[in-house]
């Protein structure tokens, strides 16, 4: 019921934005002035994947359009947690109750770039998808730039489908796979095929990751096995005034409280499934360790992953933990890339280690890792979080990572370079869309290579391009 009320609220404000534009209110771009763009996403929560994606979007947009011609702002739930990120932008606090804020804030810009990876899904939170649709819809209603960048689409509730169809028909959504393109195409949302934007991210150098691992007890010799568990079963997050009241008055639902009036899915079945997943994940790792000397570490890609890392880490005998509430994205990805092997339920755990050719496998809760492994040609390195034989199958896959690492790395390298080229094509699509919306905006001309549409590539990525192009 609360999701319905939120959807109606967002929809009414988009309709009101149309009227506001017809009356001549709001910011309009004029030639010779910087283009003011707002990056709307799930930042300020120490979700490493979300932050890395936006960091690279910003760098790419600056490269494509010219930094001197832009005035960029980024939404953040918690300004302290995103401090030091997104250099050269203005960070804007996003309140938990967001519809009135979006209505007022977006009128100050010339366009919106929606950044959330799971942009069109009901899997995690209808509130988050409503925020993405609201951001795109308000911008489109005011005849401004309205772009979803590196988006994924999946199962959506009827309300969210209807909002997407009605309010995103004048936006451009650049998806990160063909499956998402098909979902949005059925709703009449214009799309182009792109990819994730994390491929060009440059963390701290390998010396940082090596130092952190040595301080945690690594001898510098044993292969490092990275493990990225999550809680796959407590989604979606939904608003509830009843639970909020009971939590405030009686202390109930504290374990499932996310923030403000939002709560995770809870109950005995959720708890049982979560602990069974961690138990099987840990048992698979333990069986693998009986035959192989490795140094396992828990890596929490999002602050929410701390509990999963703590529980699984204890099951493994107290292995080191690196969680994003204590390590920023530059530090955490450096540690991740110093691993030799990785088993991850986090999509960006896999993506961000691939430029270092870490041999990786996925234990997935949805289509994101599934799509990535299909693209790599590694569908046999994929497991499901609720697989009844998860432990036994994980042993087989970890043995494959160990024995066939070189072959697996070759497939990973090809995939990274292919995605760099697709990401460059996203830059071309974006530039073209800016020209369509603002024909007088000056863009680069002449002969440009595909690398000119990417952020500057670090030496490691340049080496991969030379090897796998």
Tell me if 133 sits within 8 A of 164, measured CB to CB.
yes
The closest of 285, 281, 239, 16 to 141, measured between CA atoms, is 16
| pLDDT (0 to 100) of residue 17 | 94
Residue ranges of domains in the chain? 2-200, 206-403
What is residue 179's three-state secondary structure?
A: helix
- Let me know if the fold of 2-200 is the same as that of 206-403: yes
Mean of the per-residue pLDDT values for the chain?
94
- With 0-12 / 13-18 / 19 or more C-beta atoms within 10 angstroms meaning exposed / middle / buried, residue 177 is buried
pLDDT computed for residue 220 by the predictor:
95
Look at residue 160 and give its three-state secondary structure: helix
pLDDT for 469 equals: 80
pLDDT at res. 434: 96
Residue stretches of the chain with pLDDT short of 50: none
For the domain spanning 2-200, the CATH number is 3.40.50.11720
Q: Residue 345 has what pLDDT?
A: 97
The fold adopted by the segment(s) 206-403 is Rossmann fold (3.40.50)
Please state the φ and ψ torsions of residue 93, each to the nearest 5 degrees: -70, 125
What is the reported pLDDT for 241? 82
Q: What does the pLDDT read at residue 310?
A: 97
- So what's the pLDDT on residue 253? 83
| Integer Cα distance of 331 and 358 in angstroms | 17
pLDDT tens track for 284-295: 999 999 999 999
Q: What is the pLDDT of residue 35?
A: 97
């Amino acid at each position: 019921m609360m999701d319905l009320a939120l959807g109606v609220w967002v929809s009414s404000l988009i309709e009101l934005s149309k009227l506001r534009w017809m009356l001549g209110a709001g910011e309009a771009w004029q030639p010779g002035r910087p283009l003011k763009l707002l990056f709307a996403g799930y930042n300020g929560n120490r979700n490493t994947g979300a932050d890395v994606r936006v960091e690279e979007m910003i760098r790419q947009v600056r490269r494509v359009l010219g930094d001197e011609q832009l005035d960029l702002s980024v939404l953040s739930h918690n300004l302290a947690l995103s401090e030091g990120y997104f250099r050269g932008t203005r960070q804007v606090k996003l309140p938990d109750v967001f519809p009135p804020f979006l209505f007022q804030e977006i009128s100050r810009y010339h366009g919106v770039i929606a950044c959330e990876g799971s942009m069109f899904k009901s899997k995690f939170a209808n509130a988050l998808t409503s925020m993405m649709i609201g951001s795109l819809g308000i911008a489109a209603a005011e005849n401004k730039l309205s772009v979803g960048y590196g988006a994924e689409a999946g199962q959506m509730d009827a309300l969210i489908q209807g909002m997407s169809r009605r309010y995103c028909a004048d936006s451009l959504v650049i998806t990160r796979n063909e499956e998402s393109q098909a979902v949005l195409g059925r709703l009449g949302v214009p799309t182009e095929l792109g990819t994730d934007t994390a491929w060009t991210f440059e963390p701290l150098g390998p010396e940082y990751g090596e130092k952190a691992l040595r301080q945690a007890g690594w001898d510098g010799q044993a292969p490092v096995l990275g493990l990225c568990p999550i809680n796959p079963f407590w989604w979606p997050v939904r608003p509830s005034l009843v639970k909020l009241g009971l939590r405030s008055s009686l202390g109930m639902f504290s374990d499932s409280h996310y923030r403000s009036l939002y709560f995770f899915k809870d109950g005995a079945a959720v708890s049982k499934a979560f602990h069974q997943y961690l138990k099987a994940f840990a048992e698979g790792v333990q069986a693998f360790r009986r035959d192989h000397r490795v140094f396992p570490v828990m890596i929490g890609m999002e602050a929410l992953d701390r509990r999963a890392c703590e529980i699984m880490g204890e099951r493994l005998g107290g292995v080191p933990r690196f969680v994003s509430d204590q390590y920023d994205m530059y530090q955490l990805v450096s540690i991740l890339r110093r691993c030799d092997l990785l088993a991850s339920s986090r999509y960006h755990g896999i993506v961000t280690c691939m430029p270092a050719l870490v041999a990786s496998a996925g234990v997935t809760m949805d289509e994101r890792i599934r799509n990535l492994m299909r693209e790599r040609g590694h569908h046999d390195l994929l497991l499901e979080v609720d697989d009844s034989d998860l432990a036994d199958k994980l042993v087989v896959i970890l043995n494959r990572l160990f024995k066939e690492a070189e072959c697996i790395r070759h497939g990973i390298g090809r995939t990274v370079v292919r995605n760099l080229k697709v990401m460059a094509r996203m830059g071309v699509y974006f530039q073209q869309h800016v020209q369509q919306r603002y024909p007088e905006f000056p863009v680069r001309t002449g002969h440009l290579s595909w690398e000119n549409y990417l952020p500057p590539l670090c030496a490691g990525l340049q080496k991969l391009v030379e090897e796998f192009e």
